[in-house]
Structure 1
Amino acid sequence: MGKCIICGTSVDGRICRSHQEDVVFEFRGNDPNQLVQNRFYTGVVDGYADFGVFIDLSSNVTGLLHRSELDRRIESLDWEPGDEVFVQVKNVRDNGDVDLAWSIRQSEREFRGALVQDGTDERERDADDGDDGDGGSGVTHRPTPDTPGEGDDDESDGESGGDETADDGSANSTDSSDSGGSGSSEAATDRSAGTSSASASTATDDSDDGDDIDAVRERNQATPDGEYERVDIGSLSNRVGETVRIEGEVVSARQTGGPTVFELRDETGVVDCAAFVKAGVRAYPDIESGDIVRLEGEVEVRRNEIQVETEALASLEGNEAEAVQRRLAEAVTDEARPDEVATLGGHDAVAAAEDDLLDAAETIRRAVIESRPIVVRHAATADGYVAGAAVERAVLPLVREEHAKSDAEYHYFTRRPLDEPVYDMDAATKDATRMLQDRDRHDEKIPLVLLVGTGSTVESEDGLDLLGVYDAQRVVVDAATADPEIADAVATLVNPGLAGADAGDLTTGALASVLAATVNDEVAEDLSHLPAVSYWEGAPEAYTDLASDAGFDADRVAALREAVALEAYYQSYQDKRELITDILFGEEGADLADHIAGQFREKLETELDTAEANIAEREVDGRTFATLDADAYSHRFDFPSTTLLADELQRRGERDATVVYGTDELYVRADGDVDVRSAAGDAAMSVPDAGVTAVGVRQGRIEYLAGRRDEVTDAVVDAVAGQLND
């Protein structure tokens, strides 16, 4: 029988049930079933996976900290294999797998006590544990290539290995652990934090004596003294191991479990700079995103990426700040504006929108240079995915070139397909919520939102205006219908029709491909087949010839289009970046596309057979119509979508128009030009109590009240017949 180390209650062991989560345990067992659920344990980072981080709790027991358990993006963790961390055991499964949870406390001092769990026995540390005041993990295989004797009593004073570092920087291993621990761990932490061992030891010792964090910051943060000459960030890869001075704009400032990481941009590139006060404590709290600063520190390589370990940092003002801002502005202007619009097959309608295309391309390139995230919204259709993939193909190499971090392309470029034909308040609210979370949690800039094949009509005004409240840049690119009012709601509207051209046979995929090649002319060859892929029929000869010259004959183009259309339907809200890339650009693209296209044709033909057998034919004012009750005679929640079914019925039938209707919406398809808004207006006059409205001009979609479905369908058919006869 013992007493709880927190409250003194008599217990079996050393901690009572109510204080289990106030104590951190060092696990010395060899069986995962010895772990206690909801307890906090010290562990060592073993490695990363896409879905989380593997943490060694002892030499024989490893758990998984799933990415869903983190309070930040997994990519923002600065943990290295070998780092000591603190986690909570969430669950031990029957097969021995250990599920871990994130601990906001990443220092032993943040717990009220520390114990050793040796198997199932609990005890306090004794001299044999090599305690130096901050504990240590029971894991014995932590990599310490240049620091012998870790954990031994005669090395626990922090002297051992304090000045030794592997040539490749591999000893920088404990960003997110506290600056205490065994001697070798403390030295490694000091090096990774970007301070000298002496100053970090001072911070630890003073903190132990009860000094507040502000005093620790003041003693351990210097300002640049001008000893070093300024160098360009673009040259840092040739200066590993050197102490340098750089000047630029702070792109972001994020707090990790260890150092504060400032992302700094100058006219030549972007680099992460780690600054350390104490594990999890904000360094240089007065430095924020957008500040112009001067920084001195040592250039190192971490995870095969350049990083600067900050030794001194200060905000610039007056003439010094203006000089840096001028250099940045001149570099951005010179780099962002393309010389000319790319020639990709050639189309008169594209030529009419050249100025707008150049403006849109400049805005995209400027966002990359300024480290502003880009969010692409496009329709979840074959044309929409082709358009989004074209822009993605152009922008990602620019992001990789601008940012040293290997995962930067996932931070700075996102595609989010849209199920709805307009950019409505639902989509805008989702985007605003994400961008504000990223701004507040990760200090990211408000993004550039690029709307491709959506957002071009007044039905999207409310959504666009919501983004505008937060000064989010908005660019709309659409080859179909666009309203002049949208030009006033966005930075740039690329629409050949508003530019005075006849864009009747131009797809948004073709227009976006030209934009993408203008943004990055080095990928123009990769994009040459995409305009043809975006057409279901009637592709201009210039585009089919362009695809053929690139090795894509008509059959392969059709297979790509069908494969993308099928994948666009499933998990439509996901970008499916890697899968779409493999289909459109991958070496195995032909085989993959053929396989998926086969499923497309099989599913489509099955649905068409059923639909065509249940079509109701009618003639109105000399015009032939086909109408189909989609609720009764199609599988509405399986492929193909109602829009694609309507397209195919009209393409294959010998009729003037097709109307596919459901419970509270219908879709109009016609061989001639139909003004869906006008048709909806006429129907609303005929059935005034039906709530008729056109909500998707691009998709020919009209909504109404379910109880008036039959009357509205008849009224729309009459209105369309009248337009076709005018």
Structure 2
Amino acid sequence: MNKKFDYKKNSNKSKKFAGDFKEFVSNIENPTQVTIDKISAKDKGESFSVFGLIDKVVQTGGPTIFYITDGTGTLALKAFEGAGVRSYPHIDVGDAVKASIKIEEYQDELEGEVAKLWKLQDKDKKEFLDGLEKIERDRAKVTPIPFLVDSPILEKLKERMVIAATAVRLAIIQNRPIVVRHHNDTDGYSSGYALERAILPLIEKQHASVKAAWEFFTRAPCDAPMYEIDDSIRDTAKSLSNEAKFSNKMPLVLIVDTGSGEEDLLGILQGKVHGEDFIVVDHHRFEEDVVSEHTIANINPFLVGEDGAAYSAGMLCTELARFINPDPNLNITQIPAMAGLSDRVDNPEAIKKYLEIAHTKGYTKEMLGEIATVIDFVSSRLRFMEAREYVEVLFGEPMKKQKALVDLLAPYIRGLEKKGLEMAKSARKLEKFGKLTLQTISIEETFHRGFWPRPGLMVGILHDYAKEKEKLSNLVTVGILADAMTIRATDEADFSVQELIKYLNKELPEAFVEGGGHKNAGSIRFMPSKKEKVLDLFKKFVGK
């Protein structure tokens, strides 16, 4: 992890300068000078002068649109010399300018109609950029607020959260797009949504535009529990296209509820080749930390000597979101309890405190469980869609609509789970290895394609049934597919997904086993042709 965020690396600067900036300003007759953040709808029809850095230039079939930023906000300036004619062709992205403008409104958004545009030179430009840098740095600065719960784990992660929050705030101020990639389950969605609720208001304020939230922010689920090269290439391709078409910058990418393992590294490095930067927020175990040196910040309890099973990503991201945007009205404080419960976090004290917070928002433990069930189900249907408005309803915007949706879908989903459990019970196999019971089920031979619950959840339901109803305390449950296995284990089984992967790669390297997760819950992938040999070795592993 970089211990200090490098502001200058992420800023536009000019190396040449000359002249007296103050004299330049005073010698030009102009309207009242203001900063962009002081301009509002009540100023429509008024004339001002503004200084700014050209962040983007868009040539329309009519006027030329210059997007400028002065550190306090962003404003579109419209200059017209003829239909489709490039106005002020000597002024381009990266130039510092002074503009005399009249405030107008277009499609419900404020813009400046250009009367005159001057390009700052040499020392004038340097003085402006130095001032811009200070304004941006001051605005990006994070003043940590108390965590929602007292926790030594969170305290150990605080410095990393401050660095990450500062980088996110700076990206917003510098009009840099932000991409949030999250795992496709309740904890992953909780992580991504908490960050979304914190970031979007800041983007809208920066651009004085609701539409900017769609241009400068994307949240997208990953189907696999890792940032695969496929996801990375899609993110990069879309960003390069936006850079070419709209002069957008390459994004800051936040990978949450995944991103810590060696399997995530290639995707991160691929994005960095094209100018993307990365922040990781995760709680999964990794064999070796190969990611931190390639990120602005890597937030994971394992990196500070703690267990990731004590904090889910949704819990961590909600606390990070509050550092990014301390507004108490974000409507996210009920999320940690739901995320922790859905991910079976082993931290009773923190869960109890988060539940107390959720209760003040009108959420019971039972209701949070029902919401989590619906989120898991809906996420399997949305797949790679962002579905921002639908996800807002899932998380309580508005709460009345959320309750109606959950009341409708939860009984239907519970019925599917009950049916799935009966099918699984009829098809499972139980084997004894000393005191340990191995429960296996062939997923593809038992359930049709697209069946709900999906394999990982179905294995969990079957595992819970055997543990709670049949009192099998020393238990490992495995869902077997053609090229993968999903695994759940009790503490008494003394099982480790990571140790299993090491063992399989040592005994059967030609199967090319990979995977990850927590100690007692995870998944592995392997060559389909080696399935039977992998299963045989799995049984030897649990029988040791």
TM-score by length of 1: 0.66
- 2:28 is aligned to 226
Deviations 1:421-450 (A, max 9, x none): 111211111011011000010111111101
Alpha-carbon distance in 1 for matches of 2:361, 2:430: 44
* 1:710 positional shift: 1.7
Alpha-carbon distance in 2 for matches of 1:659, 1:587: 38
- 1:235 is aligned to 38
Aligned residue runs from structure 1 range 531-610, under 5 A: 531-534=336-339, 535-536=341-342, 537=344, 540-585=351-396, 586-588=398-400, 589-610=402-423
- 1:513 is aligned to 318
Amino acid in the other structure paired with 2:297: T
Q: Say whether residues 1:343 and 2:164 are aligned partners.
A: no
* 1:564 positional shift: 1.0
- Choose the corresponding residue for 1:678, options 499, 507, 524: 499
Alpha-carbon distance in 2 for matches of 1:562, 1:326: 51
Deviations 1:616-667 (A, max 9, x none): 1112243111111011012342322211112222233224211111111111
* 1:314 positional shift: 3.3
Amino acid in the other structure paired with 1:633: T
**SS in structure 1 of the partner of residue 104 of structure 2:** strand
Matched-pair contact (CA < 8 Å) for 2:182–2:192: yes
Alpha-carbon distance in 2 for matches of 1:258, 1:508: 47
**SS in structure 2 of the partner of residue 378 of structure 1:** strand
Matched-pair contact (CA < 8 Å) for 1:341–1:354: no
* 1:503 positional shift: 3.3
Alpha-carbon distance in 2 for matches of 1:281, 1:646: 63
Amino acid in the other structure paired with 2:28: G
Deviations 1:425-483 (A, max 9, x none): 11111011011000010111111101111211111111100111122110000122244
Aligned residue runs from structure 1 range 260-279, under 5 A: 260-279=64-83
Alpha-carbon distance in 1 for matches of 2:47, 2:327: 35
- Seen in structure 2, the aligned counterparts of structure 1 residues 315 and 394 have a Cα distance that, compared at 3 Å, is same
Q: Say whether residues 1:645 and 2:466 are aligned partners.
A: no
Q: CA RMSD in A?
A: 2.1
- 1:489 is aligned to 294
Matched-pair contact (CA < 8 Å) for 2:103–2:110: yes
* 1:524 positional shift: 6.0
Deviations 1:490-530 (A, max 9, x none): 11101121112233221111111111111111146611110
Matched-pair contact (CA < 8 Å) for 2:501–2:515: no
- Seen in structure 2, the aligned counterparts of structure 1 residues 717 and 280 have a Cα distance that, compared at 3 Å, is farther
- 2:476 is aligned to 657
Matched-pair contact (CA < 8 Å) for 1:394–1:517: yes
**SS in structure 2 of the partner of residue 653 of structure 1:** helix
Alpha-carbon distance in 1 for matches of 2:289, 2:90: 44
- Choose the corresponding residue for 1:459, options 263, 266, 285: 263
**SS in structure 2 of the partner of residue 605 of structure 1:** helix
> Percent identity over the alignment?
27
- Seen in structure 2, the aligned counterparts of structure 1 residues 615 and 341 have a Cα distance that, compared at 3 Å, is farther
* 1:320 positional shift: 1.4
- 2:488 is aligned to 669
Matched-pair contact (CA < 8 Å) for 1:293–1:314: yes
- Choose the corresponding residue for 1:317, options 109, 121, 134: 121
* 1:340 positional shift: 1.0
**SS in structure 2 of the partner of residue 612 of structure 1:** helix
Amino acid in the other structure paired with 2:312: T
Alpha-carbon distance in 2 for matches of 1:623, 1:465: 42
- 1:469 is aligned to 273
* 1:688 positional shift: 4.2
Matched-pair contact (CA < 8 Å) for 1:387–1:513: yes
Matched-pair contact (CA < 8 Å) for 2:198–2:330: no
Deviations 1:45-96 (A, max 9, x none): xxxxxxxxxxxxxxxxxxxxxxxxxxxxxxxxxxxxxxxxxxxxxxxxxxxx
Alpha-carbon distance in 1 for matches of 2:275, 2:95: 19
Alpha-carbon distance in 1 for matches of 2:489, 2:170: 41
More helix by share: 2
**SS in structure 2 of the partner of residue 406 of structure 1:** coil
Alpha-carbon distance in 1 for matches of 2:63, 2:495: 61
Say how many residue pairs are matched. 499
* 1:676 positional shift: 2.7
Amino acid in the other structure paired with 1:226: I
- Seen in structure 2, the aligned counterparts of structure 1 residues 661 and 287 have a Cα distance that, compared at 3 Å, is farther
Matched-pair contact (CA < 8 Å) for 1:646–1:667: yes
- Seen in structure 2, the aligned counterparts of structure 1 residues 501 and 686 have a Cα distance that, compared at 3 Å, is closer
Aligned residue runs from structure 1 range 108-187, under 5 A: none
Q: Say whether residues 1:353 and 2:173 are aligned partners.
A: no
Matched-pair contact (CA < 8 Å) for 1:692–1:702: no
TM-score by length of 2: 0.87
**SS in structure 2 of the partner of residue 394 of structure 1:** helix
- Seen in structure 2, the aligned counterparts of structure 1 residues 715 and 542 have a Cα distance that, compared at 3 Å, is same
Amino acid in the other structure paired with 2:490: D
Alpha-carbon distance in 2 for matches of 1:616, 1:286: 75
**SS in structure 2 of the partner of residue 509 of structure 1:** helix
- Choose the corresponding residue for 1:695, options 494, 515, 527: 515
Matched-pair contact (CA < 8 Å) for 2:433–2:542: no
Matched-pair contact (CA < 8 Å) for 2:498–2:516: no
Larger radius of gyration: 1
Deviations 1:530-567 (A, max 9, x none): 01111224562112122112221112111211111111
- Choose the corresponding residue for 2:135, options 331, 334, 357: 331
* 1:316 positional shift: 2.0
**SS in structure 1 of the partner of residue 302 of structure 2:** coil
Matched-pair contact (CA < 8 Å) for 1:569–1:640: no
- Seen in structure 2, the aligned counterparts of structure 1 residues 543 and 342 have a Cα distance that, compared at 3 Å, is same
Alpha-carbon distance in 1 for matches of 2:495, 2:127: 57
Amino acid in the other structure paired with 1:666: M
Give the number of the structure with larger relative contact order, counting CA–CA contacts within 8 Å between residues 6 or more apart: 2
Alpha-carbon distance in 2 for matches of 1:527, 1:554: 16
Matched-pair contact (CA < 8 Å) for 2:301–2:307: yes
Matched-pair contact (CA < 8 Å) for 1:659–1:717: no
Matched-pair contact (CA < 8 Å) for 1:422–1:695: no
Amino acid in the other structure paired with 1:276: F
- 2:15 is aligned to none
Amino acid in the other structure paired with 2:399: E
Amino acid in the other structure paired with 1:587: M
Aligned residue runs from structure 1 range 4-403, under 5 A: 226-228=28-30, 229-237=32-40, 238-403=42-207
- Seen in structure 2, the aligned counterparts of structure 1 residues 285 and 575 have a Cα distance that, compared at 3 Å, is same
**SS in structure 1 of the partner of residue 363 of structure 2:** coil
Q: Which runs of 5+ in 2 are unaligned?
A: 1-25
Amino acid in the other structure paired with 1:611: A
Which shifted more, 283-292 or 269-278? Answer: 283-292
- Seen in structure 2, the aligned counterparts of structure 1 residues 266 and 525 have a Cα distance that, compared at 3 Å, is closer
* 1:695 positional shift: 3.1
Alpha-carbon distance in 1 for matches of 2:172, 2:120: 24
Alpha-carbon distance in 1 for matches of 2:60, 2:274: 26
- Seen in structure 2, the aligned counterparts of structure 1 residues 591 and 721 have a Cα distance that, compared at 3 Å, is farther
* 1:304 positional shift: 2.2
- 1:427 is aligned to 231
- Seen in structure 2, the aligned counterparts of structure 1 residues 605 and 441 have a Cα distance that, compared at 3 Å, is same
- Choose the corresponding residue for 1:708, options 527, 530, 539: 530
Matched-pair contact (CA < 8 Å) for 2:61–2:84: yes
**SS in structure 1 of the partner of residue 205 of structure 2:** helix
